[in-house]
């Protein structure tokens, strides 16, 4: 099923320049737009947004570098371009494991925390996180299940961090 969905998405890579541009933008550059938005929030109103930005970044970093890396340590899964012929649009290290997606884990944790504090911005971040994941499948560097499990991992870490922080904030 994973190969079927991957081929369904990746088959369009390399066909149209505008679609390739969007796919590469989503896969490699949209993440910087999201981080820039967080930076702007701190500039606009530091006192109001510091806790949200700090908590979202801590949750995202923990999700990516602790949880996702632990899962990768338990189960190595090669990237699609290692074992299959794919429409490959960006260069990537073939020795890095594919499962789960570190990007999805990071950005869905970030989106979850932001959603708890600002619904509209959180929805924008969720949609952007989905597009980052879709872009990474489109360019040939992730399986759809890598993105799905990374997204679930990130969202769960975000929920856990939110409730731990809320409980901690109430006690102080």
Q: What is the pLDDT of residues 77-88, one digit of tens each?
A: 999 999 898 998
Our measurement of the distance from residue 165's CA atom to the centroid of its chain's CA atoms, rounded to an integer in Å, reads: 22
The predicted pLDDT at position 95 comes to 87
Residue 110: give the domain boundaries.
Answer: 2-86+94-171
Taking every pair of Cα atoms in the chain, the longest distance, rounded to a whole number of angstroms, is 57
**How many angstroms separate the CA atoms of 20 and 77, rounded?**
25
Instruction: Provide the pLDDT for residue 172.
Output: 59
pLDDT of 121 reads 96
pLDDT at 76: 92
Stretches in the chain below the pLDDT threshold 50: none
pTM value is 0.94
Number of domains the chain contains: 1
Q: How many angstroms separate the CA atoms of 111 and 114, rounded?
A: 5
């Amino acid at each position: 099923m994973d190969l079927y969905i991957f081929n369904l998405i990746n088959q369009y890579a390399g066909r149209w320049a505008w679609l390739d541009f969007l796919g590469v933008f989503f896969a490699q550059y949209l993440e910087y737009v999201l981080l820039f938005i967080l930076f702007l929030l701190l500039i606009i109103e530091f006192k109001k947004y510091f806790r949200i930005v700090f908590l979202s970044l801590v949750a995202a970093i923990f999700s990516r570098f602790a949880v996702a890396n632990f899962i990768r340590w338990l189960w190595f899964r090669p990237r699609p371009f290692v074992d299959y012929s794919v429409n490959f649009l960006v260069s990537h290290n073939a020795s890095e494991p594919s499962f789960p997606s570190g990007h999805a884990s990071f950005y869905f944790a970030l989106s979850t925390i932001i959603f708890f504090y600002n619904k509209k911005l959180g929805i924008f971040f969720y949609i952007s996180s989905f597009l980052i994941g879709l872009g990474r499948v489109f360019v040939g560097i992730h399986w759809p299940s890598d993105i799905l499990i990374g997204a679930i991992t990130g969202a769960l870490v975000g929920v856990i961090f939110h409730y731990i922080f809320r409980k901690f904030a109430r006690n102080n």
